[in-house]
Amino acid sequence: GTLIVFGELGVEQKSVYIAELANKLGERFLAAVTELQAARSAGDSAKIQMIQQFMTNIVGYCSRLSKAFNNTNSMQSCRCVDVYMRLLNVSTDLDSMNHLLILSHQVVAKFKKGCLQSGVDFGDILASAARLSMETEPTSTLRAQDEAAYRNLIYVRRAFLQLFFTSTTSDMLGEIAAGSRLCYLLHIQKYLANIS
């Protein structure tokens, strides 16, 4: 990613190469989601762990890829904003939601209200994370039954709060959530902040 961004390529070529790289990562992530569901159905814990690590590596790579941009060579000047925003819409479980929230947090922290023009519904990401956060309580029983699920739930709750507060301090919250959605997010935020 850094070689593409800082290389002597034209803007169009940079956009094409970054899009190709990001699309491949997105395709592999979605294929891994399908494999993960099959492994869970089969009860193959070793394969589940391997696939989850693979998915984590993909999200981590996407996150590092975005760090190649700076004020001189921004995502916008390289025409890559839409590529990254499409990657933000991939999430199916607690682990991938955690990584999606972390990446969303980085994007919102860096671009603030500039994210509003991206076409990504950050309000929907927050609402999905809020729902996942509340589906289960991180009890000692859950921890005893499934340590990974327990940890992922804690991580999603923390990442939800981080994205919520970053959206608030960036003066975006009122623009990405309104009415009942805003009330719902405020309720979940208050609940999670009080138990943290």
> Tens digit of pLDDT for each residue in 42-61?
999 899 889 888 877 787 77
Tell me the mean pLDDT in the region 4-8. 59
Q: Considering only CA atoms, which of 24, 23, 3 is closest in space to residue 78?
A: 3
Tell me the mean pLDDT in the region 99-107. 85
State how far Cα 46 lies from the chain centre. Answer: 25
Q: Considering only CA atoms, which of 132, 97, 127, 103 is closest in space to residue 115?
A: 103
pLDDT at 195: 84
What confidence category does residue 159 fall into, taking pLDDT thresholds of 50, 70 and 90? very high
Residue located via tokens 């138990």: 195
Crossing angle, helix 147-169 and helix 94-111, to 10 degrees?
Answer: 20
Q: Whats the size of the chain, residue-wise?
A: 196
* Helix (H) / strand (E) containing 1: none
Helix (H, G, I), strand (E, B) or coil at 46: helix
pLDDT at 48: 86
Tell me the mean pLDDT in the region 8-25. 73
Q: What is the sign of the dihedral through the CA atoms of 127, 92, 82 and 155?
A: positive
Which pTM does this prediction carry?
0.58
CB 110 within 8 A of CB 45: no
CB 125 within 8 A of CB 163: yes
The Cα–Cα gap between 19 and 3 comes to: 14
- For residue 163, how many other CB atoms are within 10 A of its CB? 24
CA trace torsion 186, 94, 159, 146 (10° rounding)? 110
